[in-house]
Chain A
Amino acid sequence: MVKKIILALSLVFCFGGADVYKENCIKCHKRLPVSIDKYFYKYLLIYSSERDMKNAIISYLNYPAYETSVMSDPFINRFGIKKKSKLSQEELKEAVDVYWDKYKVFGKLR
């Protein structure tokens, strides 16, 4: 019984996170010429580990600034700095977790 409850909750959180990511991240990035995975690899190039990278993304989404952006100057000049995220901290965390799981390098190299 306990196992079933845990499984149900995990699925809710999982799909819940996925929804947040899909609705709030993919939706906007779709409109940009640079696919969302390119941002991931830009972050990876600078922050390396999962914890540092997630903290950096959340921090940028909360307080977007030219100085903290990982994107190049021509990109920022063309597309500007994004607006501050309206998502709650939990939602941001869920969305970034989904983002990490989708594009992480761990377990993908052969």
Chain B
Amino acid sequence: MPTAVASEPDTQVPARPVPAPPARRRTADGRWGGVFLAPWLLGLVLLTLGPMAASLYFSFTDFGLLGSPHWVGGKNYAELLTDDPTYLQSIKVTLVYVGLSVPLKLAIALLVAMVLNTKLRGLSFYRAVFYLPSLLGASVAVAIMWRQLFTGDGVVNRFLAVLGIDAPSWVSNPDYSIYTLVALAAWQFGTPMLIFLAGLQQIPRTLLEAASVDGAGTVSRFFRVTLPLLTPILFFNLVMQVIGSFQAFSQAYVVGDGQGGPAESTLVYSLYLYKAAFVEFKMGYASAIAWVFLLGIAALTAVNFLFSRYWVFYDDEH
């Protein structure tokens, strides 16, 4: 016979305490849980944490792939930060790349998402087509194609010639080569666009209608209603894109002809890391580069989260 619950007829969902399983069964459950977790745990330790620990150790040695590593203390880090102009160049290239491609990509993604969030004939066709380049991902094939588009007699220049513009070879000019990579990143705006679209559909129509009734135009509706409500999505996209762009590698590898060329103008951070490790076989040094990278991205993401308090708006906040 129910006791306490029956005496409170107003309660809609009767709070019936779930009986705790006997202690013996709980430990058995835990054991089986451990068994099922084991493959993943094994992978994590052997394939992720182990190599990370090894690379941390190597970063303090002069390991050169062959031979045994010798402890050199902080020498790699000191050399990296004070005595390596190529390293500084790679940081500069990476910052330019991230600083340009992320805002550009997000702006295009948001703009297209806004347009594709309206009633429109052929809507699903447009959505599919605008996402298509992102399906190809950062593959080598795409990068080769991109390089071809922007060479001296590539398609882009042929098109510009029709307009009467005599353009240089974009990929082999150190002043412009990085911008072809930025353009490639901007071209693949599909993923943030999809996330923006989902976010836009979460915005209650009533708020936009109320703003219209109050006399707000398209522009102020966007800046006063849509954008504030979209800031959590924008923040998510920003964090993901910043991290992703810092890791750009294959595009730069192909467009820069495996060298980050011309004149180190496309030598992004990961590419320099790769060259140090697998071209010059300076494993210890490359490990140090990787760890500075990890700390740098982590610090930047932390700053990103810190600043988010001032501009990201969560609806459930008070």
Real binding pair: no
- Chain B interface (Cβ < 8 Å from any Cβ of A): none
